[in-house]
Structure 1
């Protein structure tokens, strides 16, 4: 089925997470433009990460913020066996965590964001609970701050870091010229795209359809002046992104912009 016939999609995911989505786009008749805006690398201080992870294994609750967090934790400690309850922010993270831990995982059913996780009954009154948040260096503080305000004893464990990837200016120009849609899977990736786009290229970039992961990133795109309302999949897994891409006006009409 060529649901995406002619649709040219720039996938900005880190390389390790991008290929399955790119292959699904091409199987549906679209054309995937592969260019990451972020790279996933080991944490700055792996010794500290190993120590913090050992401590986190005994927490009452362990929250994993991304599939990268799952991969990073088990890369640092292949025999990692946490004893506490396991929670994942989204469906893809939950699937990765179930596979790695071989245990049941709690995850929000609909709102696959930090806010959705905070709405779970388990975290309504976490007074006295020891909660370890496993994620990357930096990132949002909403989850940790809110849980601490609710009385939890919160620690953060950084098991990877995100590094910006900056394509050459000719490559960036070619990508913007060719893409009908840009899939941006994090606020950090959108911020980096905005930072590296020269003023002369902004009118073209603002004309592209965005697919974004959350209401927060959607609002940021609107603040940046994108002309078309960004699309937000119900989940940021490949199937949901593909369904969202099929709703793009250019999908199925054989529209292209040349080649990058």
Structure 2
């Protein structure tokens, strides 16, 4: 398996070059050109990410004139069997590659096993890759399709016969990678280094948030199901009709199965990509 920092043909752009240039400006400075119209002006966006991961997205929304309504649905905590995960990480230092499914997986793996990682690291998404690169690690990640499917399309994972791979993830993490890689001949182990804990809210708080917002950002299936459970019945129809941004095609399908009418996935599941998707979806709603 030959490794490099990025390998994947760029998928057809879902957003125009105008959106791409705005994205770069927002990402670099946290603000947009004041001479340009603010694409989320007057819009209220419900951001459900864990509290420690929401700041940049909220700043970008507000830089575009929107109002970010924070409603963290999940808390990220260490896995209950951290000792077993630590032993697996330490025993897997000689693996052909470690594959990380989230930035949380990177953070918690570092706490459990700070040294001795293999040279070959891969990340499902851009934020995960950035977390690895911040620690000084070169990383392989899809160039466009930030998903398990995108990673599996990379040449480095098409033929993994005889290789030993470790997937570093959370409890009940991505169920696609391990069976697919085993089916291609690899020996695959899974280190669950953190868990997601649903946060409690009373119905009145959720109802107020649903009434107030124009769109919702959800970053996991567990968070989506939790929001649906928390939402009082009188507000459920409104929730299902809101613009909903989710991470990837599988989540679009899942949201549609749950009754959401307009779920969509950004071309790139990055913070600027989410803002782009919100802007286009809300503009189309006019």
Provide the TM-score with structure 1 as the length reference.
0.91
* Structure 2 match to 1:139: 173
Counterparts of 1:41-56 in structure 2, within 5 Å, are 41-56=77-92
Aligned-partner Cα distance in 2 for 1:91–1:164: 25
CA shift digits 1:196-253 (9 cap, x unpaired): 22332211111211011111111122222223x22211122111111112213369x9
- Residues 1:233 and 2:266 are matched in the alignment: yes
Deviation at 1:55, TM superposition (A): 1.5
* Structure 2 match to 1:81: 116
* Structure 2 match to 1:92: 127
Aligned-partner Cα distance in 2 for 1:128–1:84: 18
Contact 1:89–1:108 (8 Å) recurs in 2: yes
The one of 186, 207, 220 aligned to 2:220: 186
| Structure 2: 5+ residue stretches without partners | 1-33
SS of equivalent residue, structure 1 residue 246: helix
Contact 2:243–2:282 (8 Å) recurs in 1: no
Counterparts of 1:23-172 in structure 2, within 5 Å, are 23-77=59-113, 79-100=114-135, 102-172=136-206
Contact 1:38–1:163 (8 Å) recurs in 2: yes
Out of 134-143 and 188-197, give the one that drifted further. Answer: 188-197
SS of equivalent residue, structure 1 residue 248: helix
* Structure 2 match to 1:257: none
Counterparts of 1:201-216 in structure 2, within 5 Å, are 201-216=235-250
Contact 2:100–2:124 (8 Å) recurs in 1: yes
SS of equivalent residue, structure 1 residue 72: helix
Contact 1:6–1:250 (8 Å) recurs in 2: no
CA shift digits 1:115-149 (9 cap, x unpaired): 11111111111111000001111123210011111
Aligned-partner Cα distance in 2 for 1:186–1:202: 19
Cα RMSD of the aligned pairs, angstroms, is 1.7
Aligned-partner Cα distance in 1 for 2:182–2:119: 18
* Structure 2 match to 1:8: 44
Deviation at 1:95, TM superposition (A): 1.1
* Structure 2 match to 1:17: 53
CA shift digits 1:63-105 (9 cap, x unpaired): 000111111111223x3231241110011111111112x1321
| Structure 1: 5+ residue stretches without partners | 254-260
* RCO comparison, higher one (Cα < 8 Å, 6+): 1
Contact 2:101–2:174 (8 Å) recurs in 1: no
Aligned-partner Cα distance in 1 for 2:126–2:173: 19
* Structure 2 match to 1:246: 279
Provide the TM-score with structure 2 as the length reference.
0.83
